[in-house]
C-alpha cells in the first residue's frame, strides 16, 4: 500500500514538472507569436570608447511624448529595454540620462540630440531586437544657481533653458526647485540662459537681465567645473525705451551696450533699470544738438542716464555743420571741393568755397565747364574781402572738362 502511494506521488510530481515545462513553453511561444519579444539594445560609452555604467535609458512614445519604460547600462555599458507588455513593434525615442553633477556626463537623446523634439525615431519590428542604439556621452560641466524675486526669496518652478551661443538652438532645460535652486549638466561650450515663469507672473528674462537672446550675456562651461549663474526676476511688466536718431550720428544704449545709428531703436527693461545714453558724433560734418522727448534727457550734454519707470521716447538730434562748399542752385551742403565738383554733370555751374583750408587732393572728372569761386567769408557765400582766399592743401588736377577759378591757392 505504501509502495503504491509512493508511486502515485512520483507520477504526480513528474506530471507537475512536465506540466510546468509545457506551460512555460506555451507561454514563451505565445510571447513570441503575439509580438511580446521585441526589445531595444545598445551600448553607452564615453568619447574614448570606454563603457559607462549606471546610465538610465528611457524609451518614450513619440506620439504622446510619454515615458514608457527604462533600463540601466551595465558594467560593460550595454543595456536592453524589454517588456512583453510595454515594448511592442512600433516607433520610440530613446533618452540617455546621465544625472549626477559636474564631472559626470551629459545626457542626450538618440542620436546625440538635445531634446525629445529633435530625437531620432527608433523603429522596432515584430519579433526582433533592435540593436545598435548606442550613445557616446561627453564629459560634463554644469551651470547652477538660484532664481529669486526682488526680496531675495527663491522662486520654485522657473524654467531655465540653455541655448547654444552660436547656433541659438535650445540644448537643455532645467526647473528651479526648493529655494529657487537649479542645476543642469552641459558639454563644454558657451551658452545663453533664458529664465521663464508660467505660474506666478514673473517676467521672463535672458541672462543677465537682458530683453532678448541677441543681447544676452554668454556663459562658459568647462568639463568638471560648476559655473554659477543667478537670476532675480520681477513681476513688473517691462517698459520700453524708444531712441530716435535724427541726423548723422550714433547713440550708445547701455545696457545692452548697442549703438543706434539711424531710425528708431527699441529696448525693453524691467521697471527701475537705469539706462545710460551717450550721443556720439561719428560724422565730422554733424554736431550733436541735444536731447528731446518724454524721458529725462534734456539739453546738449552728450551723456544722459534714464531711469526706466515708464515707457520713454527720446530723440537725439545731430545737425549738419555749416557748409564750406556750395553749388549755386543746390541746397545740399558740401564740405569738400572734390565732392562738389563730382556732383556736377551739366554745363555752366558755379561752385563757391569758404575762406578756409581744404586738406584734399582734387581730381576733376566731370566733362563739363565749371566756375570755382573761393574766398567767401559768410555762410550765405555772398561776401568776400579784398584779400580773402580759399586754400587747397594738397593738389588739383583736371582730368576732364574745364575749370575756371577765382581766389584759389593750391599749395
CATH topology match: 141-232 vs 239-320: yes
Cα separation of 251 and 240, whole Å? Answer: 16
Mean pLDDT of all residues in 358-379:
96
C-alpha cell at 153: 526669496
Domains in the chain: boundaries = 39-137, 141-232, 239-320, 325-410
Which pLDDT score, from 0 to 100, does residue 150 have? 81
Taking CA atoms, 308 is separated from 183, 243, 303, in Å, by 32, 13, 16
Helices and strands in the chain, H and E counts: 2, 35
Prediction pTM value:
0.44
Q: Which three cell numbers stand for residue 323?
A: 557748409
Most confident of 43-57, 96-110, 267-281: 43-57
- pLDDT average, residue stretch 290-313: 90
> Which sign does the torsion angle of CA 195, 196, 201, 205 carry?
positive
Provide, for the chain, the percentages of residues in helix, strand and coil under a 3-state DSSP scheme, each rounded to the nearest 5.
10, 45, 45
Of the ranges 22-26, 169-173, 188-192, 371-375, which one carries the lowest mean pLDDT score? 22-26
Least trusted range by pLDDT, from 169-178, 321-330, 393-402: 169-178
Which tops the pLDDT comparison, 1 or 82?
Answer: 82
Q: Which three cell numbers stand for residue 64?
A: 504622446
Q: What are phi and psi of 12, to 5 degrees?
A: -65, -40
Structurally, what CATH architecture does the domain formed by 239-320 represent? Sandwich (2.60)
What are the grid coordinates assigned to 321, written together?
555743420
Q: From CA 232, how far away is CA 130, in angstroms rounded?
A: 47
Full strand arrangement of the beta sheet holding 357-358: 357-358, 390-392, 408-410
Give the homologous superfamily in CATH for domain 141-232: Immunoglobulins (2.60.40.10)
Count Cβ atoms within 10 A of the Cβ of residue 357 and give its class: 0-12 exposed, 13-18 middle, 19 or more buried: middle
How many Å apart are CA 326 and CA 153, to the nearest integer?
Answer: 66
Q: pLDDT band at residue 354, thresholds of 50, 70 and 90? A: very high
Q: Taking 60 as the threshold, does the pLDDT of residue 9 lie above it?
A: no
- The C-alpha torsion from 21 through 26 and 28 to 30, rounded to 10°, is -170
Per-residue pLDDT tens for 252-297? 999 988 899 988 999 988 778 899 999 999 999 999 999 999 877 8
* Sign of CA pseudo-dihedral 247, 249, 254, 258: positive
Classify 401 as helix, strand or coil.
coil
Strand order in the sheet with 402-406: 325-327, 349-354, 369-376, 402-406
Mean pLDDT of the chain: 88
DSSP state of 179: G
- Take residue 45 and report the three cell numbers written for it: 560609452
Q: What is the predicted pLDDT for the residue at 105?
A: 87
Contact 279, 301 (CB under 8 A): no
Q: Give the pLDDT of residue 407.
A: 97
pLDDT tens sequence across 124-149: 999 999 999 999 998 888 899 999 98
Residue 250's φ and ψ, nearest 5 degrees, are: -140, 145
Which architecture characterizes domain 39-137 according to CATH?
A: Sandwich (2.60)
Cα 102 to its chain centre, rounded Å, is 24
Cβ(155)–Cβ(233) under 8 Å? yes
At residue 24, the pLDDT reads 36
Helix (H) or strand (E) holding 341: helix 337-342
Q: Do residues 235 and 197 touch, judged by C-beta distance below 8 A?
A: no
Q: With pLDDT > 70 as the criterion, what percentage of the chain qualifies? A: 90
How many CB atoms neighbour CB 394 within 10 A?
Answer: 15
- For the cut 70, the answer to whether the pLDDT of residue 393 exceeds it is yes
Return the H-helix or E-strand segment holding 8: helix 2-33
Amino acid at each position: 500500500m505504501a509502495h503504491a502511494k509512493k508511486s502515485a506521488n512520483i507520477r504526480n510530481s513528474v506530471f507537475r514538472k512536465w506540466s510546468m515545462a509545457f506551460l512555460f513553453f506555451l507561454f514563451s511561444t505565445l510571447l513570441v507569436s503575439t509580438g511580446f519579444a521585441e526589445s531595444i539594445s545598445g551600448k553607452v560609452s564615453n568619447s574614448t570608447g570606454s563603457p559607462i555604467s549606471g546610465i538610465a535609458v528611457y524609451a518614450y512614445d513619440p506620439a504622446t511624448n510619454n515615458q514608457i519604460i527604462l533600463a540601466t547600462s551595465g558594467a560593460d555599458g550595454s543595456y536592453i529595454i524589454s517588456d512583453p507588455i510595454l515594448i511592442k513593434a512600433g516607433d520610440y525615442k530613446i533618452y540617455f540620462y546621465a544625472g549626477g553633477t559636474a564631472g559626470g556626463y551629459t545626457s542626450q537623446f538618440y542620436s546625440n540630440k538635445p531634446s525629445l523634439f529633435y530625437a531620432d525615431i527608433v523603429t522596432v519590428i515584430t519579433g526582433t531586437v533592435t540593436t545598435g542604439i548606442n550613445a557616446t556621452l561627453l564629459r560634463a560641466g554644469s551651470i547652477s544657481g538660484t532664481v529669486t524675486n526682488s526680496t531675495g526669496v527663491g522662486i520654485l518652478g522657473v524654467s531655465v533653458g540653455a541655448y547654444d551661443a552660436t547656433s541659438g538652438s535650445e540644448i537643455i532645460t532645467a526647473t528651479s526647485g526648493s529655494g529657487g535652486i537649479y542645476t543642469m549638466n552641459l558639454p563644454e561650450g558657451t551658452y545663453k540662459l533664458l529664465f521663464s515663469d508660467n505660474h506666478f507672473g514673473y517676467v521672463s528674462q535672458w541672462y543677465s537681465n537682458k530683453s532678448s537672446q541677441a543681447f544676452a550675456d554668454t556663459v562658459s562651461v568647462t568639463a568638471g567645473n560648476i559655473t554659477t549663474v543667478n537670476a532675480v526676476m520681477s513681476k513688473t511688466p517691462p517698459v520700453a525705451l524708444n531712441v530716435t536718431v535724427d541726423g548723422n550720428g550714433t547713440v550708445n544704449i547701455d545696457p545692452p551696450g548697442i549703438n543706434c545709428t539711424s531710425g528708431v531703436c527699441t529696448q525693453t527693461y524691467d521697471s527701475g533699470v537705469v539706462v545710460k545714453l551717450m550721443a556720439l558724433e561719428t560724422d565730422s560734418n554733424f554736431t550733436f544738438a541735444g536731447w528731446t522727448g518724454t524721458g529725462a534727457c534734456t539739453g546738449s550734454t552728450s551723456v544722459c542716464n534714464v531711469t526706466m519707470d515708464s515707457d520713454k521716447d527720446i530723440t537725439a538730434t545731430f545737425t549738419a555743420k555749416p557748409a564750406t562748399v556750395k553749388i549755386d542752385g543746390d541746397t545740399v551742403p558740401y564740405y569738400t571741393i572734390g565732392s562738389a565738383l563730382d556732383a556736377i554733370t551739366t554745363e555752366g555751374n558755379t561752385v563757391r568755397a569758404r575762406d578756409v583750408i581744404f586738406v584734399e587732393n582734387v581730381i576733376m572728372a566731370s566733362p563739363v565747364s565749371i566756375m570755382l569761386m573761393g574766398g567767401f567769408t559768410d555762410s550765405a557765400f555772398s561776401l568776400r574781402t579784398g584779400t580773402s582766399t580759399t586754400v587747397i592743401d594738397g593738389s588739383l588736377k583736371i582730368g576732364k572738362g574745364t575749370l575756371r577759378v577765382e581766389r584759389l591757392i593750391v599749395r
